[in-house]
Amino acid sequence: MSDPINNQVATELSENGQTQATQTPSFADIYHSSINDREQFWAEQAKRIYWHKEPEQILDDSNLPFAKWFVGGETNLCYNCVDRHLPDRAEQDAFIWLSSEINQELIETFPTVADAFSNLGNNVEFYTDYTKRRLTYNDLYKEVNYFADVLQRHGVGEGDRVIIYMPMILEAAYAMLACARIGAIHSVVFGGFAAHNLAIRMDDAEAKMVITVDAGLRGGKVINYKNLVNQGVEQATAKPEHVLVVDRGILPFAAQAIDIDYATERRISCEANAIVEPVWLESNTPSYLLYTSGTTGTPKGVQRDTGGHAVALTTSMDYIYNGKAGETFWAISDIGWAVGHSYTIYAPLLAGMTSVMYEGLPHRPNPGIWWRIVEANKVNILFTAPTGVRMLKKQDETWMTRYDVSSLKSFFLAGEPLDQSTADWLKKHLGVPILDHYWQTESGWPILSNTPKFDDKPHKQGSPGYPMYGYDAHVINEKTGERCAAGEKGLLAITAPLPPGCLTTVWRNDERFISSYFSLADGNEYSTSDYAVTDEDGCFYILGRTDDVINVAGHRIGTQEIEEAISTHPEMAECAVVGIHDELKGELPIAFCVLRDHTQVATTENRFRLEQQIIGAVVKSLGGIARPAAVYFPQSVPKTRSGKILRRAIRALAENKPTGDMSTLDNPAAIDAIKQSMKDY
């Protein structure tokens, strides 16, 4: 076996045999090396993880667009996340779990919740506004082994698929890591999906087991996970053999014949002090599936490999996030999304960091909860979506100054473009770099970013940055396939091979992988389905999804560009722009604007004044062709539970059409808010 690699600054032996730090290369040098000498570059990065068997070939690109990385190498994701760190950081926190949904008041009302915690092990601290559990790397090692033992005793093994349908709790992390340990392929399904969506994923993955909970909490509202799973199993054609249930003591349920109680099974494993040896997997063995929306309505199972995934994420924690072993990283995202996979569970652990795992909302129990958590746990790097921040912008700004957030080094945002006003607001209050960056479920780690570790590339607010190492990214003309000049709009594309850590195919559907992502030009370009433009310094600017681009009298306009212009208005909390059908011009943009103070539109006079100011800002920024045909002022806009605005639903409402599947909707009242705003117009 090769020795584990400690991810620190590069060293070399001096003449007297002592190690000394080598000069850190510029990012430009790193990037050019990753594109022009891929195999050498990634061979060096592969030293960051533990290999049970060294790779025989760094890259097999003989069958593009299907690329294989670190061919013949054998490793294990769980071993690299957990076991590898035990000699040096066994007593360091691996996870800090916090829930603002469960507090002292709830425990007093539902004592069964406290009982459930005791059944699941680990010390729990109850406060007036949140609950906390700390888990060292040694604790995590034990819990993951217990969970892996439970899985094996119930017939789950290498290659089997396991659906995980859980809220943000530590047992969800155990489940993911335990699957990785025994070579099972996990597929986390976002807890907000309805039973039908869950059944579709069970069928496509042919899951052998589903892991769930009795219930979750969101904004104080109980979500009946177990009932949704029961319905999903009933609707599924490929039914799981078992449903493993983590009983949180929130909602009583009637056990089904295929149910297994996790607390009971864990006790058996704990009493036996179960140790499950990691299964060493060839680098290109699938590690997990994550389903993402497709244009056909059938979800695509994004398939991630094992070795490339581990190498890419470990490298990103150093080169992109400038994270150091022992520091604390907080990605505020659900594990049902790619961010939760990559940067709540895997990457921080791979890098020997402490990861914060949060169950709760940005403004509950008060708008200062994020900053209290940062202070109490000395968070060094923060990562979330702009939507959560915009929600806080609507609150009393004094919440931003009540806590000491000096531990923060940087604040990354992704998931949707970061508007200038939100970035400025954060920078004003936090005083740290506010860094937009861009990536996808498919990529698994950032495609475009700014890098605080390096200072040789300019950081421009409004841009998610420049291509990261390994991504031969550029803007192309979608019709000709030719590369666009600076300032010329086109489609953001990446020349194959995709770097390690990206999707390797669509689960059991290579043809869909090609048709969905590599149908451009000669089939050698990965399409992100996002329009972009570059400037003279090579910074990229995302203009919106291809289906968020509207055609006004032959002019293609990105709705994100209009939203950016509207967001400059000081009264704006957030906005959504959609295109509606127009007989004369094809499409017309209309804007739905959520104000920081909705009473500003209490009178017709004020509403008209704000409308004209907003239209004026758009015309000034983009010209008359982008002028919104209407401006509405709802009190909220419909969003998914991950915080993304459901623009397709808004467009359907504006055109008086069915909204379609709304199973991911987080705020049902927003639908009525949209309708009411159009009535008020």
Closest CA to 318 of 177, 441, 454: 454
Check whether 206 has a pLDDT greater than 90: yes
* Location of structure tokens 């969506």: 197
pLDDT tens per residue, range 316-352:
999 999 999 999 999 999 998 899 999 999 999 999 9
Q: What's residue 4's pLDDT?
A: 37
Angle between helices 262-271 and 111-119 (to 10 degrees): 30
pLDDT tens per residue, range 388-413:
888 888 888 889 889 999 999 999 99
Average the pLDDT over each of 182-191, 275-284, 444-453, 635-644 and give the range with the smallest value.
Answer: 635-644
* Location of structure tokens 């006003």: 421
Residue 568: helix, strand or coil by DSSP? Answer: coil
Measure the CA–CA gap between 611 and 133, rounded to whole angstroms.
48
Task: List, in sequence order, every residue forming a beta bridge with 630; answer none if it has no partner.
Answer: 590
CA pseudo-torsion sign 510, 513, 519, 525? negative
Closest CA to 338 of 385, 282, 283: 385
Provide the pairing of β-strand 19-21 with 540-545: unpaired
SS (H, E, C) 381-436: EEEECHHHHHHHHCCCHHHHHCCCCCCCCEEEECCCCCCHHHHHHHHHHHCCCEEE
Strand order in the sheet with 505-506: 259-261, 242-246, 209-213, 161-165, 185-188, 288-292, 300-304, 505-506
Residue 359: helix, strand or coil by DSSP? Answer: strand
Q: What's residue 6's pLDDT?
A: 37
pLDDT tens per residue, range 555-580:
657 788 789 889 989 999 999 999 88
User: pTM for this one?
Assistant: 0.83
Q: What's residue 12's pLDDT?
A: 33
The answer, yes or no, to whether the previous bond of 467 is cis (omega within 30 of 0) is: no
Task: List, in sequence order, every residue forming a beta bridge with 381; answer none if it has no partner.
Answer: 329, 410
Q: Are 283 and 74 in contact (CB under 8 A)?
A: yes
Q: How far is CA 245 from the centre of its chain?
A: 25
- What the chain holds in terms of domains, given with CATH numbers, is 553-680 (3.30.300.30)
CA pseudo-torsion sign 361, 364, 366, 368? negative
Q: What's residue 129's pLDDT?
A: 86
Tokens describing residue 266: 């864990």
Amino acid identity of residue 303, one-letter, is Q
Check whether 190 has a pLDDT greater than 50: yes
Tokens describing residue 355: 């990861």
Check whether 20 has a pLDDT greater than 70: no
Check whether 449 has a pLDDT greater than 90: yes
The DSSP code sequence of 575-603 is EEEEEEEETTTEEEEEEEEEESSGGGGSS
Confidence tier at 9 by pLDDT (50, 70, 90)? very low
Angle between helices 307-319 and 38-45 (to 10 degrees): 80
Q: What's residue 584's pLDDT?
A: 61
Span 445-453, average pLDDT: 94
Exposure string over 164-175, b if 16+ CB within 10 A, otherwise e: bbbbbbbbbbbb
Q: What's residue 583's pLDDT?
A: 63
Closest CA to 81 of 344, 440, 323, 292: 344
Of the two residues 346 and 6, the one the predictor is more confident about is: 346
Please state, as a whole number, how many other Cβ atoms lie within 10 Å of the Cβ of residue 616: 13
Amino acid identity of residue 592, one-letter, is F
Q: What's residue 31's pLDDT?
A: 96
**Alpha-helix runs per DSSP H in 239-328:** 262-271, 307-319
Closest CA to 529 of 542, 540, 512, 513: 542
Average the pLDDT over each of 51-65, 146-160, 289-303, 440-454 and give the range with the smallest value.
Answer: 289-303
Measure the CA–CA gap between 480 and 484, rounded to whole angstroms.
10
| Residues near 466 by beta carbon (within 8 Å), at least 6 away in sequence | 448, 449, 450, 457, 538, 539, 540
Closest CA to 224 of 249, 243, 251, 259: 251
Span 143-165, average pLDDT: 98
pLDDT tens per residue, range 651-679:
888 888 887 767 667 788 888 888 888 88
Check whether 354 has a pLDDT greater than 90: yes
Measure the CA–CA gap between 116 and 103, rounded to whole angstroms.
14
Q: What's residue 554's pLDDT?
A: 52
Span 52-80, average pLDDT: 98
Q: Are 357 and 95 in contact (CB under 8 A)?
A: yes
Tokens describing residue 670: 């927003």
Measure the CA–CA gap between 57 and 72, rounded to whole angstroms.
7
**Dihedral, 226, 227, 229, 234 alpha carbons, nearest 10:** 140
Q: What's residue 144's pLDDT?
A: 98
Check whether 195 has a pLDDT greater than 90: no
Q: Write phi, then psi, for 432 (nearest 5 degrees).
A: -125, 165
Q: Are 644 and 605 in contact (CB under 8 A)?
A: no
pLDDT tens per residue, range 238-279:
999 999 999 999 999 999 999 999 999 999 999 999 999 999
- Mean pLDDT taken over the chain: 90
**Dihedral, 598, 600, 602, 605 alpha carbons, nearest 10:** -150
Tokens describing residue 494: 């990446």
Measure the CA–CA gap between 237 and 256, rounded to whole angstroms.
18
Task: List, in sequence order, every residue forming a beta bridge with 135; answer none if it has no partner.
Answer: 95
Measure the CA–CA gap between 480 and 198, rounded to whole angstroms.
40
